[in-house]
Structure 1
Amino acid sequence: MSAETNPIAAPLADAVRRRIPGATGIAGLRRLSGGASQETWSFDATTEGEPIPLILRRAPGGGQTQGRSGTAAGLETEAELIRLAGEAGVAVPPVRLVLDDKDAMGHGFVMDRIEGETIARKILRDPEFAEARPKLARQCGEILARLHKVDKSKLPPLRVSPARAEIDQYFQTYKTHNHPHPVFELAFRWLKERVPPETTELTLVHGDFRHGNLMIGPDGVRAVLDWELAHIGDPMEDLGWICVNSWRFGNIDNPVGGFGRREDLYEGYEAAGGHKVDPERVKFWEVLGTLKWGVMCTTMVMAFKAGDRSVERATIGRRASETEVDLMRLLAPLGKE
């Protein structure tokens, strides 16, 4: 579909002209691949001078969607979280406008387009990122410390999901599959016996801080993307999630995203004002994150069995077995990682 015949082109151009100072229209509108739960469109706002590179993040067809079993924040909430995170010093793409009824495009927002790479294979292997890789773990720690210090009193309504709630949610999902996985059962029991105390301070949590949601350039992390799973929870959740083996993409000896050491992540976190890191609590969340991803993989299996015969469903579904191996390595380690 060309930009000229695209049904969102005209209303988007009108919204941009009305709401971005100096904009005269749009050019180069194209939909990007990826983003399973939302539409992502790349375009430029034209001006009398240099164009402004932008991204439209929009609910499918413009309608509101909760995505991912009702756990996702709405797009208006995402936009507000990005604004607040930016004020706290987190690298984010500035939001230019949030769609409203006058825009006649449904739910979504327009933000700056940040140049960089999100594909893990390139970030972990291409020479272009060789100088950035040793810095990334510490940068991630610094970013998370700033994120976790966002003033909760300023946050829009978000779900509150401490450790016990996360375990219960994914256990219920697992049980609906009616397909026993002994390793999953063992992991659920291990987690229930080690739930952090209720006195644990809860903060804003990104909820999906990993490859794919980090825009990275030769200088390091340029922006944190995709805030739809943000919630109020244990800040150690974010530190544990980026250490899940599935996000190392084969570089298993570098536990932080396949590019760095835990020590660098923790040092960056504490140096930027985060609480002192408890490695055992981070491990708890790494186990829970690994188990969550395993349950998500089996959810893909159920969708495939129900008739969604996409290759993506089948490919992700079979990765459940990988998470079982990862869980056994975490629960019964043979040596120090």
Structure 2
Amino acid sequence: MTEPHFSENLFEDDVTDDLPSDEEIFEVDEDDSGLKAQLKEFLKDQLNDEAGPMIESPPVPIAGGSSKHHYKFTVSWFNGTKRIRRHMILRQEPASGVVDSDMQTEAIILNALRGGDVPVPALQWSDLTPTWFDTRTLIFEQSRGEADRAVLRDKDPFKLGLEGRVDLARAMTGILADLHALNPAEHSLDLVLPYPDDSVMSEVNKWDYAVDKEQLDPQRLLAPARDWLQVHMQPGSPELSLVHGDFRPANFLVDDGRPTTLLDWEMAHLGDPAEDVGWYTCSLYRTEHFPEGWGVEDFLARYVERGGPELEPERIKFWQVFAVFKLAVIALRAVRNVESGAVDGPKPPIDRVIETLNADIA
């Protein structure tokens, strides 16, 4: 079992070479004595082991991006007949993040999809009150594989070759089609997730409102894009799908050239399936998501072939622009966190993100 790498760096490499690394974004206290003690008490409560679980390797920080803290640890316990050992990933909310998320909603989604066609992390335990930990916590069984945002690029970190990278891209696209083919009602997700009256307007307005509410753009650098989105607003999708919200190769664990787990469900919601398509194909991610000889047209053909809906070009274009706008909002939040001292590290290159956004709407 390969140790996974978790990454929530949302920006394409060429645009953000000077972004801080995951380890630099947050100062993580490597003295895990407090967390280890909390974890041990939590596991004693969760596991039917009179002798108490053994934490064989204490929680150690691993790269986890700008929205969550991640730790790996190993635990064993006696289940009545034998001792079981598991390698686990513990995920916690930090004091400051760049993405609004709801761990309870994420936990509901992961439990609903477990064992289905879409490969999701195996969520084992949660403390969402929180009662046992200082902040809300999810604990997963470690999945097979590792993630690298350059997996489809010529850097070829997993040595798949061009044909292997194209096969991997096709497999990932098929998983997106499988996700959008799910009926949310069959998994009772329509009962627990917000059900928007207009799947397009509600999502756009949520991020648009955040700019004003958080006073992220006093220089009004985003004004042209905000106006463009309102003028070109698409009608709401007649059929709501479960939208991942951050579907991209960087969020897949890959083992032996195959995608094993789709990570980072914190922005998932009911909405327009074209939103994920626009995010995957937007200008900032174009280089990262498409190996040589396999372009956007191939992606769309594979998506439809696997059961995804056929999407009008103007709808895809709208969501592509929205994707870069959303990335700009996230970057502005990251800039504010650095300027306020909430996190350490250099500022994200927001000017280049906005330049790309303006070029997209020109």
1:92–1:257 Cα change, 3 Å: farther
Q: Say which SS state the counterpart of residue 97 (structure 1) adopts.
A: strand
- In the superposition, the TM-score normalised over structure 2's length comes to 0.74
Matches of 1:32 and 1:309, distance apart in 2:
17
8 A contact 2:200–2:236 mirrored in 1: no
1:84-107 CA-to-partner distances (Å, cap 9, x unmatched) read: 223431111212223377972353
- In the superposition, the TM-score normalised over structure 1's length comes to 0.79
1:102-129 CA-to-partner distances (Å, cap 9, x unmatched) read: 9723532221212333232466313524
1:151-202 CA-to-partner distances (Å, cap 9, x unmatched) read: 3231163345622223323333444321122xx3333333222222135322
1:60-84 CA-to-partner distances (Å, cap 9, x unmatched) read: 48xxx9x657x412x2321221122
1:219-248 CA-to-partner distances (Å, cap 9, x unmatched) read: 232211111111111111111112233335
Shift of the alpha carbon at 1:258? 8.8
1:277-312 CA-to-partner distances (Å, cap 9, x unmatched) read: 333312211111011112322333344444557324
1:32 to 42, 56, 62: 62
Partner of 1:145: 177
Matches of 1:258 and 1:9, distance apart in 2:
46
1:6–1:307 Cα change, 3 Å: closer
Count of residues in Structure 1 that have an aligned counterpart in Structure 2: 315
Larger mean CA deviation between 22-31 and 217-226 belongs to: 22-31
The residue type paired with residue 169 of structure 1 is K
Report % sequence identity.
25
Let me know the Cα RMSD of the aligned residues: 3.3
1:25-73 CA-to-partner distances (Å, cap 9, x unmatched) read: 2222212232333221111222566732211123348xxx9x657x412
Matches of 1:307 and 1:2, distance apart in 2:
20
Q: Say which SS state the counterpart of residue 34 (structure 2) adopts.
A: coil
- Consecutive unaligned residues of structure 2, counting only runs of 5 or more, are 1-28
The residue type paired with residue 84 of structure 1 is A
- Consecutive unaligned residues of structure 1, counting only runs of 5 or more, are 333-337
Shift of the alpha carbon at 1:6? 1.6
1:297 to 308, 331, 337: 331
8 A contact 1:72–1:229 mirrored in 2: yes
Residue 106 (structure 2) pairs with residue 78 (structure 1): yes
8 A contact 1:137–1:262 mirrored in 2: no
Residue 311 (structure 2) pairs with residue 277 (structure 1): yes
8 A contact 1:244–1:290 mirrored in 2: yes
Matches of 1:299 and 1:267, distance apart in 2:
35
> 1:116-265 alignment to 2 at 5 Å?
116-121=145-150, 124=153, 125-126=155-156, 128-131=158-161, 132-153=164-185, 154-155=188-189, 157-160=192-195, 162-175=199-212, 176=215, 177-181=217-221, 184-248=222-286, 252=287, 256=290, 260-265=294-299
The residue type paired with residue 147 of structure 2 is T
Q: Identify the structure with bigger relative contact order (alpha carbons < 8 Å, sequence gap 6+).
A: 2
Shift of the alpha carbon at 1:134? 0.8
Larger mean CA deviation between 230-239 and 113-122 belongs to: 113-122
